[in-house]
Amino acid sequence: MRGEKREVRGEKKPRIPAGRWRSPRSSALFLPLTSGLSLPMGRLVYWLVVVVLVAFCLLPILWGVRTSLAPEFDPSFVPSRLTSEHYAKILSRGFFYRYTINSAVVTLGSVVLVLPLALGAGYALGRQQFWGRRLAPVLLALPLLPAVTFLVPIARYLNLFGLYNTRTALVLANTAFCLPFATWMVWNFVHALSPSLEEAALLDGCSHLGALIRVILPSMIPGAIAAGVFVAIQTWSNYLFAYALSTHPEIRVLPKAIVDFVGSWRTDWGGLMAIGVLTLLPPLALFQILQRWFVAGMYGLAER
Amino acid sequence: MSNPETQRGTGILPVSNRRQGVHVTMFASRQWLFVPALIYLALFWVVPLAPGLLISCQEPVPGTQAFRWVGLANYRTLLGEKTFWHNLSLSLLYLIGVVGLTTPVAYVVALVISGRSRVLGAVRALFLIPWVVPPVVSALVFRSMADPAIGPLAALYRHLSGNTELIPLQSASWAMVNVIVHSFWRSVPVLTLFLVAGMTTISAELHESAQVDGASAWQRFWTITMPLTRSHLATGLLLISAFTLQDAETIYAMTGGGPGHDTEVAAVRLFREAFDYQHLHVAAAVGTFLLVAGVILMALYLALFRRAEAAT
């Protein structure tokens, strides 16, 4: 993909944008839909399409929020009255806090475990030609293999080490799944960084370790944030490993708790959506706050 | 790779000896930073392969905890069974449905958000949100939307099918529709990301000169935008295909594979066999089929990657 890019772009060298979608400064990319229409008409159609697409992306989420606030069995899209009873019901039960803490511990653990591994690997790949460069694409494409296939062997494996039914097991499995993408992200960021800073540090008599800690690590913070947000969102949301590697209610995480509730609360959509919304809030907040770095990271991932 | 500074640092371009010297000493130790990640990935993605394959060639001895070797018998049983072919065809249907719906919509989204406007700047991040929602949460939202008592999707499906008594998740075909629509909704942001990345590499001059030559917007889309985003499209679709094929959790949360086996794609079959029925040997055999599909996708991805590397 980079090859074709090079052919058409001539002298221009687009770099990974710092936190925004780079839009080509030309109306030429405008929707084919609006072709043949007069300018105001074309604008109207264009914005209509934007509104429809935003609705497409947001309506299911709004529906979830609506259902969590609406009285039971209210079929109209805009409920007749709003109620907080579903949230009150969820928040009054102790288990919700336990599951939230479990989720937070597993998520934090995965981020803490992935980051050093991904930063090291991404940095090495981004700065040096070595045998790893040839191996890296294979390793980093590993998530294309079905994780579900690995569940049984991994479960046995962790059982062997006495880790089955522990939060550690969830951290380890989630780390394995997130590490490839996180490494891609860091690699991309390192690519976009100029090595001159490190060179300067070394020439000024900084030791290798000193350069690594004082100069390189700080410059990799944006990459680390992007990768960290990615890992946090993935791990917080993961149901597969939670289901396969834990049966004990003590270490149940939120996604597993939600699915488990469906059985007993089949028609209590209000309560279910209330937990759903509460589960959605942390990743959404993280995304909103660190969007600048995260979008750039995802974007770099796609540019590969 | 676009930055000349970086390329010098990575040793792709020839550099002066003095600078090279700095790099050699400086980077000599750097490659070992790669090793911990390598070991970790090998432990979790490569080592489990062998036990997985081993279980698929065994069966439990009734009444004991032991397993005995049966060769390829599990595979023969699977291939001789109607349900498994149903699982495989549903997987294929799932894949085709999601890819077929996602591609055009992602193109429209990508074209729309690469337009220039201040308002757009604010809404651009909104298009990534479906990806941020935990899969089981969105699966349950879509399940509630297909609930005939309250759900808007149920009303839509009833309207489309002309059956006012329809209970979507109890009907084989509409349950599958709901499953596909949900994954489609989640996949759009992923593919859009790839397409936008592709579109930003197309120079504006190319479009402008085509415009001067009298090409319509449609013509420009088919002759410039489409061909020049083809490799991004391919990579994005590979990723979506891989995730769709291995997706067990959203279907499991939405329908549990039912009604009957009618939304039980191969990944859900594996999941049910392994964790609901404890038939580890059957699950492992199903897993081998999924693994083969995954390896094919991975090989395609690597081929794409190599081509891009070679062209750079």
pLDDT tens column, A243-286 = 888 888 888 999 998 888 886 555 688 888 999 999 999 999 99
| A59-68, A141-150, B57-66, B94-103: the lowest-pLDDT one | B57-66
Q: For the residues of chain B, what is the DSSP string, one character each?
A: ---HHHHHHHT-S---HHHHHHHHHHHTTGGGGGHHHHHHHIIIIITTHHHHHHHHTEEEPTTSS-EEE-TTHHHHHHHT-HHHHHHHHHHHHHHHHHHHHHHHHHHHHHHHHTS--HHHHHHGGGGGHHHHS-HHHHHHHHHHHT-TTT-HHHHHHHHHHT-TT--GGGSHHHHHHHHHHHHHHHHHHHHHHHHHHHHTTS-HHHHHHHHHTT--HHHHIIIIIHHHTHHHHHHHHHHHHHHHHT--HHHHHHTTT-STTTT--HHHHHHIIIIIS--HHHHHHHHHHHHHHHHHHHHHHHHHHHHHHHH-
Highest mean pLDDT among A79-83, A264-268, B25-29 belongs to A79-83
Comparing alpha-carbon positions, the chain B residue that sits nearest to A300 is B197
* C-alpha–C-alpha distance, residues A106 and A169, integer Å: 9
Is pLDDT larger for residue A26 or for residue A80?
A80
Q: Do B140 and A180 touch (CB under 8 A)?
A: no
Is pLDDT larger for residue B199 or for residue B123?
B199
Q: How many CB atoms lie within 10 A of CB A250?
A: 10
Task: Pick B284's closest partner by Cβ from A152, A195, A233.
Answer: A152
Over 80: is that where the pLDDT of B242 sits? Answer: yes
Using a CB–CB cutoff of 8 Å, tell me whether A54 touches chain B.
Answer: yes
Give the per-residue pLDDT at A191.
Answer: 80
Q: Do B40 and A117 touch (CB under 8 A)?
A: yes
What is the value of pTM for the model shown?
0.86
| A174-183, A294-303, B25-34: the lowest-pLDDT one | B25-34
Closest by Cα among B142, B121, B257 to A17: B121
The region that residue A165 occupies, defined by phi over 0 for left and psi between -120 and 50 for alpha, beta otherwise, is: left
Over 80: is that where the pLDDT of B174 sits? Answer: yes
* Domains of chain A, earliest start first: 27-83 (no CATH), 90-303 (1.10.3720.10)
Sign of dihedral through CA atoms A204, A206, A207, A212? Answer: negative
Over 60: is that where the pLDDT of B203 sits? Answer: yes
This model of the complex carries an ipTM of: 0.84
Using a CB–CB cutoff of 8 Å, tell me whether A248 touches chain B.
Answer: no
Per-residue pLDDT tens over the stretch A7-65: 333 334 444 443 333 433 334 345 555 555 666 777 787 788 888 999 999 999 999 99
User: Which contiguous run of DSSP H or E holds residue A182?
Assistant: helix A167-192
* C-alpha–C-alpha distance, residues B207 and B199, integer Å: 11
Residues above pLDDT 90, as percent of chain A:
30
Comparing alpha-carbon positions, the chain B residue that sits nearest to A50 is B112
Q: Do B6 and A267 touch (CB under 8 A)?
A: no
Give the per-residue pLDDT at A303.
Answer: 62
Is pLDDT larger for residue A39 or for residue B176?
B176
Give the per-residue pLDDT at A265.
Answer: 52
Q: Do B44 and A53 touch (CB under 8 A)?
A: no
Q: Do B115 and A208 touch (CB under 8 A)?
A: no
Mean pLDDT on B122-149: 89
Comparing alpha-carbon positions, the chain B residue that sits nearest to A207 is B26
Per-residue pLDDT tens over the stretch B243-283: 999 999 999 999 988 788 999 999 999 999 998 888 989 99
Is pLDDT larger for residue A71 or for residue A180?
A180
Q: Which residues lie below 8 Å from residue B134, measured CB to CB, with a gap of 6+?
A: A236, A237, A239, A254, A255, A279, A280, A283
Q: Chain B partners of A131 at a C-beta cutoff of 8 Å?
A: 31
* Domains of chain B, earliest start first: 81-311 (1.10.3720.10)
Comparing alpha-carbon positions, the chain A residue that sits nearest to B249 is A240
* C-alpha–C-alpha distance, residues B257 and B175, integer Å: 9
Residues above pLDDT 70, as percent of chain B:
88
Q: Which residues lie below 8 Å from residue B36, measured CB to CB, with a gap of 6+?
A: A116, A117, A120, A121
